[in-house]
Structure 1
Amino acid sequence: MTEKQTSYILSINCGSSSLKFSLYQSGSLLQECSGNVDTIGSTGSSLTIYKDGKSVLQQSSGFKNLDGAVKAVINWLKTSEYKNSLLAIGHRLVQGGPDHREPELITDELINNLQAFVYLAPNHLPDEVRTIKTFGRAFPGLQQVACFDTAFHRNMPDEAKYYPLPAKYREQGLLHYGFHGLSYEYIMHQIDRKHIKVSKIIIAHLGNGASMAAVKNGICIETTMGLSPIGGLVMGTRSGDLDPGVILFLLKQGKLTTAQLDKLLSKESGLKAIAGKSDVQELLQLEAEDPKARVAITVFCYQARKFIGSLTAAMGGMDMLVFTGGIGENSEIIRERICGELGFLGVNLDKKSNHDNKENISSATSRVKVLAMKTNEEVMIAQHTQTIIKHQTHEN
């Protein structure tokens, strides 16, 4: 009797300048291997494959765009030991419009529907849809699943969900969607798994893209990003929230086209506009001698504190504050500067635990439990994909 061959679920996570992917064993969802293509668009861009925490392959090609990175991943898969063992592919999609929030099987109809909502996420959806189509051509017949980053926020109350604008715009898809949902979902699963009993949680996903969510009794009731991933906190190259008058100023006085405005707010604003650089770690290294870097870090931490305060008010209190994302997980300096003036909310860090990047970084006297947790969007994609495929199999 031959041993049953292991099958794998491939998780694909497209970013603005990166592509992350992981292979998980179906059933157990144990990670087999992972990889990423970083700094897409730069000459130093490279594909790296990891197994058991170690780099097993590195291919430097200076990938000019996401399409080139996707093709490199497909070429690696087709020449790897996993080429005939793929069960399904799951994709993170930033946006699916008002009618597509839950994970679902990707069909031609869904692709057509997504094309109609490109205007809601013009910097993300076109690349994501192209990636789905490219994998579909490379692995014909393999089922693919869409996991929408807006799903976690779908049950926000009306007072948080709708903008005070005429109803006709709501009918066109103008809603407070929220993003980073797969990351928030993973963090909440980890909190549940650890049997931590708290009812009012703020999760700060801080990376090149940054947002926060207020979760009360397991339901997201408010989040900082809105219609698009541009809003909320100041970010690496995104502006965050602006007075609507600023937009009118840029259109009228700056005489910008909508395309120019989109590029300005998405790729030329935020920390990059303040300091000329968008990487927080680099700015921290420069701040002692560079006043602009110091201002950028100050603005980032100030806005984080401001949003934590507003989300606490929205929930009527805070029991737990969780830092995640590349900056949130790894930068003890940023966590310390954000929390340093939040004592009035009951937030107090343990300096040694924070410096050592422990998970629990709150002091013994802190009324609010403060954690630094690693997120994992890819495993959530795999989990949703496996659930959809199983459901599909049972239906057939």
Structure 2
Amino acid sequence: MTNACNIKGALLVLNSGSSSVKFTVFQVDTVAAGGHQLAPFFAGQLDGIGTAARLKAKAADKGLLADEPWGHLDKGTVPSVLPHLLSWIENNLPTDLPLRAAGHRVVHGGSLFDKPVLATASVIAQLDGLSPLAPLHQPQNLAAIRALAKSRPDLPQVACFDTAFHQTQPALSTTYAIPKRYTQEGVRRYGFHGLSYEYIAQYLAANKPGLAKGRVVVAHLGSGASLAALKNGVSLDTSMGFSALDGVPMGTRPGAIDPGIIIHLMRRYSLDADELERLLYHESGLLGVSGLSNDMRAIEASQEPDAQLAHDLFCSRVAKAVASLAVSMGGIDGLVFTAGIGEHSALIREKICRYLAWLGFALDPLSNEANDGLISTDGSLPVHVVPTDEEYMIASHTIKLQFG
């Protein structure tokens, strides 16, 4: 761990997928009492890797830094292009802001990791063993860590887990009704989007302490969507389970589905594991129901009956999840919407809260349209829109672990 008394530099946060990398660079400064201050410096995305790679980046003030094709550097995989991205990032940092560390979003920490850890070779090997639990995410996350380690072996890297925040959940929330031998092998409910929920919990503690001490359902609604029950800022239950397929319908994922359907598809249509994986991860959800798009904005704009069904189905299932999670907490004192859809779709929030009117929720139309802050009426249980910041959460964990 580096001495916390004299730290100034930059910290890189990476969120790596199969054909894209999102990145944020934070400026780090030491403040009083050995603490640290984080400020976004610039951020961007390298997408289309393997087809038509393109780098886009903006400064903290939203000024354009880059919008350029990277096909000449594209070797078809994220790991092959990461060293070039790292060079671009360092070349765009002032000389007095050296890159000090990198933090990574890693989807699955299993039961092994309940907090961020330094990404050593032994840790990476353990995380590799969890890849079957998140086959479309975990290998990509680890490939980025390995590529960065090869390119910059001197750069400390920290793995931050989407599952860690939910490690506080009781066995009642994490156990499936299956033979115990499978539970002992790790077939249990883990929950995801933990970095987002952790950020919201900290935000509420700092800005809404009364509500933070109560029973709150947080709805992280984006292309991937889940909800979590937080009591006194601690996760008690969540809608996602063993994998990121469970819970409410998502952009291309079905959410909760009768296991008998899987058996039927295997027997009736002879679908194998790879075909089922493609169906459940890439062809279902809003896309499957609407037949139009996995993008909620396109679905909201459409008048097609199937698009309207997809919209209504999403809102109904989210409302059911809110009510279910209230049971896990013995009641509910407030609701928070976050993530892409949760933060920006007034219509989605209005429909969901209309379903939940019997629980005491009512929205103020003008506040709801503003997409920020308290959006409920005076007589309602409080409903808030809070923009999440998983990148800040990763940066915060990274700096604490690396610099104290």
TM-score, normalised on structure 2? 0.90
How far apart are residue 18 of structure 1 and its match?
4.5
Hey, what's the Cα distance between the residues in 1 that align with 2:315 and 2:7?
50
Matching of residue 168 in structure 1 with residue 184 in structure 2 = no
Kindly provide the CA deviation profile for residues 306-326 of structure 1, in whole angstroms up to 9, marking residues without a partner as x.
111111122121111000000
| Counterpart AA for 2:38 | L
Contact 1:13 1:92 in 2 (8 A): yes
How far apart are residue 328 of structure 1 and its match?
0.3
Q: Corresponding residue for 1:394?
A: none
How far apart are residue 216 of structure 1 and its match?
1.2
- Larger deviation: 135-144 or 185-194? 135-144
Matching of residue 327 in structure 1 with residue 341 in structure 2 = yes
Change beyond 3 A, Cα 1:44–1:363: farther
Hey, what's the Cα distance between the residues in 2 that align with 1:360 and 1:348?
11
| Counterpart AA for 2:368 | N
Q: Corresponding residue for 1:153?
A: 166
| SS in structure 1 at match of 2:403 | helix
| SS in structure 2 at match of 1:147 | strand
Where in structure 2 are the equivalents of 1:245-324 lying within 5 Å? 245-276=260-291, 277-286=293-302, 288=303, 290-324=304-338
Alpha-carbon RMSD: 2.0
| SS in structure 2 at match of 1:154 | helix
How far apart are residue 252 of structure 1 and its match?
1.6
Change beyond 3 A, Cα 1:21–1:248: same
| SS in structure 2 at match of 1:197 | helix
Match of residue 32, structure 1, among 30, 35, 41: 41
Change beyond 3 A, Cα 1:353–1:69: farther
Q: Corresponding residue for 1:80?
A: 92
Change beyond 3 A, Cα 1:112–1:82: farther
Matching of residue 23 in structure 1 with residue 25 in structure 2 = yes
Contact 2:90 2:99 in 1 (8 A): no
Kindly provide the CA deviation profile for residues 300-353 of structure 1, in whole angstroms up to 9, marking residues without a partner as x.
111111111111122121111000000000111111111122111110000001
Q: Corresponding residue for 2:113?
A: 100
Contact 1:36 1:49 in 2 (8 A): no
Hey, what's the Cα distance between the residues in 2 that align with 1:380 and 1:197?
22
Hey, what's the Cα distance between the residues in 2 that align with 1:239 and 1:106?
33
Hey, what's the Cα distance between the residues in 1 that align with 2:316 and 2:52?
34
Hey, what's the Cα distance between the residues in 1 that align with 2:316 and 2:50?
31
Change beyond 3 A, Cα 1:306–1:41: farther
| SS in structure 2 at match of 1:7 | strand
How far apart are residue 90 of structure 1 and its match?
0.6
What is the aligned-residue identity percentage? 38
| SS in structure 1 at match of 2:203 | helix
How far apart are residue 107 of structure 1 and its match?
0.7
| SS in structure 2 at match of 1:22 | strand
Q: Corresponding residue for 2:3?
A: none
Match of residue 200, structure 1, among 202, 215, 218: 215
Contact 2:44 2:55 in 1 (8 A): no
Q: Corresponding residue for 2:32?
A: none
How far apart are residue 53 of structure 1 and its match?
2.7
Hey, what's the Cα distance between the residues in 1 that align with 2:337 and 2:51?
29
How far apart are residue 68 of structure 1 and its match?
6.0
Change beyond 3 A, Cα 1:315–1:140: same
Q: Corresponding residue for 1:57?
A: 66
Matching of residue 337 in structure 1 with residue 339 in structure 2 = no
Hey, what's the Cα distance between the residues in 2 that align with 1:250 and 1:155?
36
How far apart are residue 246 of structure 1 and its match?
1.0
Contact 1:37 1:69 in 2 (8 A): no
Gaps of 5+ in 2: 1-5, 29-35
Change beyond 3 A, Cα 1:196–1:42: farther
| SS in structure 1 at match of 2:25 | strand
Hey, what's the Cα distance between the residues in 2 that align with 1:161 and 1:299?
26
Hey, what's the Cα distance between the residues in 2 that align with 1:93 and 1:82?
29
Gaps of 5+ in 1: 392-396
